[in-house]
């Protein structure tokens, strides 16, 4: 017969209770440690990016502003008349002709003239740059460096600034910007969304709602799981073979006879977007399937119960009930596409583009490719430029993910409050 | 609100016909899930404008038989049926029969209240709209809700989400939703098992009112409920291979007071199940 004494005396129970609780505490500490470790590495990443984005730079001017106009230390202090004279006198005849051909000096804005004077007359170049940490903590060695080198200007520079967003690329790190790469990324993501979203959601609806449980469909499902794990560079090779080479006639825009100057064979935004669409397709399919699985069967049954057809059930009940999860999953998949570098490098994305992409048949570069390029260059100052580009990319990703979260909350709130 | 048209269209309360007319006939129905036989050769007739209760222990296949009547089993992967189910002398499993059409004629109310996550109004109107209803929707909603004894409670909040109603109200809304598409038969799969006693009582009253207009088949675990609401009771049992079969089918009074089979007597007196 069972009796309470089989559980031991009260004291035994108390000591056992302590042991049970102690076990729980150990695991809690382990979990806390893992979380802290993850946060620590994230912080390290942020710190290292921020460190390279801000700091002192030592700049050497080929022509000092004070030599051009006595008593003025910066080009921005020049008057309009002074700027025009300086440009007329100091620009080489070839550059001057090109500048005048674009727009006469009189019609240009003052900021435009200042940047021309900076770029072609003063010609500043970075001799050395320091990170934020060194700039704040190791000022002695900066001073020593400055003392050992004559004619340098030391300024504190934020590498991420407005002109960084608005300028195109440049051989001079001081003038380099992300505009073309940023626009390229947006174009690519748009193409990816346009192709991957309808196909992915459609495939998921078929697999989840229509497909019968047979060997063929199980094989299909297994392959989709496998595809989602294929390294992205393989998709790049596929894109190169299919979109860039075989479908060059289409992806280059030749079939529309709209070949512009910027087109390079099939290495266009269209090819890049299609390649990334292939890459995220399995992810979108799997995410959407999960979203559809989360819709309770009782909802489908109640719809069939009043005489609805399969499609009416899906369109009126299943999709509205899962659209928030589907969209969130899709945006997260697109975020992954936004950060992809390898497949785009393989299909031959350009690395130096100073013209904005104008159509889906334009050449392109993207933010991650620029980051890779800049961080691989020998000049130290490009590492600072890369840091600024990383911050840009992270801001873009954050914006997309926040958009996904806000939209999901909004839709599910609307679902709860419904009419 | 003008209710004359629809009120006439909807079946009125009238005296129960003395003569019992078969509306659904099951003959030697065996149902399989994959290789497992869930129901073994059940044969019974369902009578028009009567309430028929299916009772029996868990796993006896009573819900399975119920779902075979409006082909809900088609939704379950690997399910298969043998024998015949006839509705007004039409074979429901004939090749040219569209299950969607059957489900409009033979509606269903489920165990767990499952209104659409939409407004109360839309819950009623949606089924009618997809089936091509061309009358006045406001009228339809009011009449259906009145028939389900829910109108007075919700008439001021028709635009409110149905999921904010209580469980009992949700179940009555599901009944109203089923009525709105004007079926001839309503299948109820343990409609009150998730509700409290008061809500259960209201559902039972509702069933008694509805049987004047509809034929109702109800699966229940509650024998008191079966005896209170039904005219006929089918008692299902499980054999040694876990197959369900029909043990006894008789008018409710006879089955409860004077069962012909020993197993029926044991079950209704609470010896097992």
Indicate whether A294 and A147 sit together in one domain: no
Calculate how close chain B gets to A305, using CA atoms only, in Å: 5
Same domain, A336 and A382: yes
The tokens describing A386, both together, are 């890369």
Are the beta carbons of B112 and A317 separated by less than 8 Å? no
| Domains of chain B, first to last | 4-268 (3.40.50.300)
Q: Which of A306, A313, A315, A418 to mutate to test the interface with B (most CBs of B within 10 A)?
A: A306
List the pLDDT tens digit at each of the 419 positions of chain A.
Answer: 566 777 878 888 889 889 999 989 999 999 999 999 999 999 999 999 999 899 898 888 888 888 887 777 777 788 888 888 888 888 888 888 888 888 888 888 888 888 888 888 888 888 888 888 888 888 888 888 888 887 888 888 888 888 888 888 877 888 888 888 999 999 999 999 999 999 999 999 999 999 888 899 999 999 999 999 999 999 999 999 999 888 888 888 777 765 555 455 788 889 999 999 999 999 999 999 999 999 999 999 999 999 899 999 999 999 999 998 999 999 989 999 998 889 998 888 877 777 788 888 888 889 999 999 888 888 888 888 999 999 999 999 999 889 888 888 888 777 766 54
Please report the residues numbered 42 through 81 in chain B whose beta carbons come closer than 8 angstroms to any beta carbon of chain A.
70, 72, 75, 77-78
Number of structural domains in chain A: 2
Please report, for residues A82, A107, A304, B22, the alpha-carbon distance to residue A88 in angstroms, rounded to integers and kept in the order given. 10, 14, 81, 106
Looking at chain A, which residue has its C-alpha nearest residue B75? Answer: A301
Is there a single domain that holds both residue A145 and residue A221? Answer: no
Task: Spell out which residues of chain B touch residue A317, defining contact as CB-CB under 8 Å.
Answer: 116
Taking the Cβ of residue A416 and every Cβ of chain B, the question of whether any pair is shorter than 8 Å is answered with yes
Of A299, A415, A418, the CB nearest to B114: A299
Distance from the B100 Cα atom to the nearest Cα atom in chain A, whole angstroms: 5
Domain extent for A78: 55-102+122-157
The answer to whether B243 faces chain A, any CB pair under 8 Å, is: no
Task: Tell whether A268 and A152 lie within a shared domain.
Answer: no
Quick: pLDDT tens for B90-135.
899 998 889 999 999 999 999 999 999 999 999 999 999 999 899 9
Is A116 inside a domain boundary? no
In a domain, A167, yes or no: no
Tokens representing residue B59 in the block: 């796993």
A159 with A178: CB under 8 angstroms? no
Instruction: Say if residue A134 is in the same domain as residue A216.
Output: no
Q: Is the pLDDT of residue B219 over 90?
A: yes
N-to-C CA span, chain B: 50
Burial class from Cβ neighbours inside 10 Å (0-12, 13-18, 19+) for residue B14 reads exposed
Question: Does residue A108 sit in helix, strand or coil?
Answer: coil
- The ipTM (two decimal places) reads 0.85
d(CA A202, CA A328): 16
Q: Which of B24, B22, B20 is closest to B42 using CA atoms?
A: B24
Same domain? For A135 and A61 the reply is: yes
Whether A339 and A192 share a structural domain: yes
Same domain, A137 and A225: no
- Does B167 contact chain A (CB < 8 Å)? no
Contacts of A381 (CB under 8 A, 6+ apart): A57, A126, A129, A173, A174
Q: Tell me whether residues B114 and A307 touch, CB distance under 8 A.
A: no
Question: Is A147 touching B (CB cutoff 8 A)?
Answer: no
Question: B72 and A309: CB-CB below 8 Å?
Answer: no
Q: Does A191 lie in the same domain as A87?
A: no
Closest CA to B208 of B193, B186, B189: B186
A189 and A253 both lie in a single domain = yes
Task: List helix spans (H) across A257-349.
Answer: 269-293, 297-305, 310-313, 319-338, 342-346
Q: Which of B100, B140, B183 to mutate to test the interface with A (most CBs of A within 10 A)?
A: B100
The reply to whether A81 and A227 lie within a common domain is no
Alpha carbons A323 and B125: distance in angstroms, whole number: 23
Based on the fold, state whether residues A347 and A215 are members of the same structural domain.
Answer: yes
- B250-267 mean pLDDT: 91
- The confidence score (pLDDT) of residue B273 equals 59
CATH number for the domain harbouring residue A285: 1.10.3720.10
Q: Which residue has the higher pLDDT, B45 or A74?
A: B45
From A286's Cα to the closest Cα of chain B, the distance in A is 21
Q: What residues of B are in contact with residue A320 (Cβ under 8 Å)?
A: 117
Whole-prediction pTM: 0.82
B190 lies within 8 A of chain A by CB: no
- Put simply, the answer to whether B178 touches A305 (Cβ < 8 Å) is yes
């Amino acid at each position: 017969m069972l009796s309470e004494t089989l559980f031991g005396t009260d004291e035994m129970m108390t000591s056992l209770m302590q042991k049970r609780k102690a076990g729980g505490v150990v695991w809690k500490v382990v979990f806390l440690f893992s979380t802290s470790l993850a946060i620590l590495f994230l912080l390290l990443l942020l710190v290292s990016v921020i460190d390279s984005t801000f700091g002192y730079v030592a700049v050497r001017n080929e022509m000092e502003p004070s030599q051009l106009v006595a008593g003025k230390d910066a080009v921005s202090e020049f008057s309009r008349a002074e700027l025009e004279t300086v440009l007329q006198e100091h620009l080489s005849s070839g550059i001057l002709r090109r500048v005048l051909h674009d727009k006469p000096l009189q019609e240009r804005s003052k900021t435009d003239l200042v940047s021309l004077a900076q770029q072609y007359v003063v010609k500043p170049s970075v001799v050395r740059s320091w990170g934020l940490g060194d700039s704040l903590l190791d000022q002695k060695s900066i001073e020593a460096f400055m003392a050992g080198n004559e004619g340098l200007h030391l300024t504190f520079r934020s590498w991420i600034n407005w002109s960084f967003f608005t300028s195109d690329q440049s051989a001079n790190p001081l003038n380099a910007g992300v505009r073309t790469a940023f626009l390229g990324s947006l174009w690519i993501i748009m193409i990816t969304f346009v192709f991957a979203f309808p196909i992915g959601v459609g495939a998921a609806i078929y697999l989840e709602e229509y497909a019968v449980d047979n060997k063929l469909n199980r094989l299909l499902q297994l392959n989709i799981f496998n595809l989602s794990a294929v390294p992205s560079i393989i998709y790049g090779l596929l894109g190169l073979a299919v979109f860039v080479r075989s479908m060059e006639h289409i992806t280059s825009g030749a079939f529309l006879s709209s070949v512009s100057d910027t087109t390079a064979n099939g290495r266009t935004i269209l090819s890049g977007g299609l390649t990334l669409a292939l890459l995220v397709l399995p992810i979108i399919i799997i995410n959407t399937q999960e979203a559809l699985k989360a819709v309770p069967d009782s909802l489908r049954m109640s719809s069939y119960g009043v005489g609805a057809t399969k499609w009416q059930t899906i369109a009126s009940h299943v999709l509205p009930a899962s659209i928030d999860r589907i969209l969130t999953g899709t945006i997260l998949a697109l975020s992954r596409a936004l950060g992809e570098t390898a497949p785009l490098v393989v299909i031959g994305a350009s690395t130096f583009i100073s013209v904005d992409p104008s159509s889906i048949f334009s050449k392109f570069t993207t933010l991650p490719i620029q980051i890779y390029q800049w961080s691989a260059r020998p000049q130290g100052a490009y590492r600072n430029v890369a840091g600024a580009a990383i911050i840009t990319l992270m801001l873009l990703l954050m914006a997309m993910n926040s958009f996904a979260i806000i939209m999901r909350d909004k839709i599910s709130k609307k679902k709860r409050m419904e009419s | 609100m003008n209710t004359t048209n629809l009120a006439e269209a909807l079946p009125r309360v009238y005296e129960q016909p003395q003569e019992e007319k078969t509306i659904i006939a099951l003959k030697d129905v065996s149902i399989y899930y994959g290789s497992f036989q869930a129901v073994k050769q059940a044969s019974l007739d369902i009578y028009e404008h009567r309430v028929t209760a299916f009772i029996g222990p868990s796993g006896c296949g009573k819900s399975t038989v119920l779902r075979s009547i409006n082909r809900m089993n088609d939704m379950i992967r690997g399910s298969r049926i043998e024998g015949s189910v006839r509705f007004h002398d039409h074979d429901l499993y004939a090749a040219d029969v569209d299950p969607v059409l059957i489900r409009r004629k033979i509606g269903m109310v489920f165990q767990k209240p499952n209104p659409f996550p939409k407004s109360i109004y839309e819950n009623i109107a949606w089924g009618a709209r997809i089936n091509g209803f061309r009358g006045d929707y406001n009228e339809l909603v009011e009449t259906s809700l009145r028939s389900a004894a829910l109108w007075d409670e919700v008439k001021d909040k028709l635009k409110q989400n149905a999921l904010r109603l209580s469980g009992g109200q949700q179940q009555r809304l599901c009944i109203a939703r089923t009525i709105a598409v004007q079926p001839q038969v309503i299948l109820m799969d343990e409609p009150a098992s998730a509700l409290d006693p008061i809500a259960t009582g209201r559902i039972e009253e509702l069933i008694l009112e509805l049987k004047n207009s509809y034929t109702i088949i109800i699966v229940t675990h509650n024998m008191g409920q079966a005896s209170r609401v039904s005219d006929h009771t089918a008692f299902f049992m499980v054999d040694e291979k876990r197959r369900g079969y029909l043990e006894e089918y008789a008018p409710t009074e006879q089955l409860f007071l004077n069962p012909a089979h020993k197993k029926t007597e044991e079950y209704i007196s609470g010896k097992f199940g």
